[in-house]
């Protein structure tokens, strides 16, 4: 199979205006991927599927990833005046990276028996209405998995044929797979909470009034 650098170059040549970026993977798998721009993502995907040398005709899985806002502190060397002389000193600088969401597709060729080639689509932010182009029209096997990402991460896939929840119920709010998700104390579908859910729910119960004297007697009679 062609190298990722070759696939990137050919994709940008075949799809005018397309921007394809190679994203390194520092993990043990060392499996870099191709980041596609939104405007040309579907055209590049079509090239990957139909090109005679690639024939990436099977999308095995689609995964959602949440990258929250993060700050990275790094050491840099700067020149400063120290006791009247210019010296190189080391300082800590903090860099801010805004968060985003991703959909990651693993592609294989059943015809040519090679792969995987990993491609990514990345949102501009982590807003609830974040959008990405759907690749289900290119690989039908992505349909349910894009629905799952929509359900659990909140990404809206433009052009998906049937984008609706697949695991959570329609009235459910929030996105359980996001890293800042907080489980509610009680669930609307559990009218009689128990165990750890009950302990959480008790924190929100109204305080019971204190009874004394005749009120205690009346309450005992009612029991």
Would you give per-residue pLDDT tens digits along the chain (223 residues)? 899 999 999 999 999 999 999 999 887 878 999 999 999 999 999 999 999 999 999 999 999 999 999 888 888 877 777 777 777 777 788 888 899 999 999 999 999 999 999 999 999 998 877 999 999 999 999 999 999 999 999 999 999 999 999 999 888 888 999 999 887 765 555 566 677 777 777 777 777 766 555 555 454 445 5
Q: Does residue 155 lie in a domain region?
A: yes
Containing structural domain, residue 194 = 186-223
> Both 135 and 191 in a single domain?
no
Measured in whole angstroms, the distance separating CA 53 from the mean position of its chain's CA atoms is: 31
Q: Does residue 81 lie in a domain region?
A: no
- Structurally, how many domains does the chain consist of? 2
pTM of this prediction exceeds 0.85: no
> Both 136 and 170 in a single domain?
yes
């Amino acid at each position: 199979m062609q190298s990722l650098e070759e696939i990137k170059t050919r994709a940008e040549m075949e799809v005018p205006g397309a921007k394809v970026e190679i994203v390194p993977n520092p993990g043990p798998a060392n499996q870099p991927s191709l980041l596609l721009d939104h405007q040309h993502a579907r055209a590049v995907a079509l090239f990957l599927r139909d090109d005679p040398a690639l024939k990436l005709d099977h999308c095995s899985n689609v995964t959602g990833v949440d990258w929250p806002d993060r700050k990275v502190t790094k050491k840099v060397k700067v020149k400063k005046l120290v006791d009247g002389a210019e010296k190189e000193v080391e300082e800590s600088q903090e860099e801010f990276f805004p968060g985003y969401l991703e959909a990651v597709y693993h592609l294989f060729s059943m015809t040519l028996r090679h792969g995987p080639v990993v491609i990514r689509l990345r949102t501009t932010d982590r807003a609830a209405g974040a959008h990405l182009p759907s690749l289900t029209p290119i690989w039908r096997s992505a349909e349910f998995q894009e629905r799952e990402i929509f359900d659990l991460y909140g990404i809206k896939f433009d052009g998906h044929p049937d984008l609706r929840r697949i695991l959570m119920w329609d009235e459910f709010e929030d996105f359980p797979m996001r890293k800042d998700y907080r489980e509610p104390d009680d669930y609307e579908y559990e009218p009689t909470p128990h165990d750890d859910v009950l302990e959480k729910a008790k924190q929100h119960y109204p305080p019971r009034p204190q009874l004394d004297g005749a009120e205690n007697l009346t309450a005992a009679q009612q029991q």
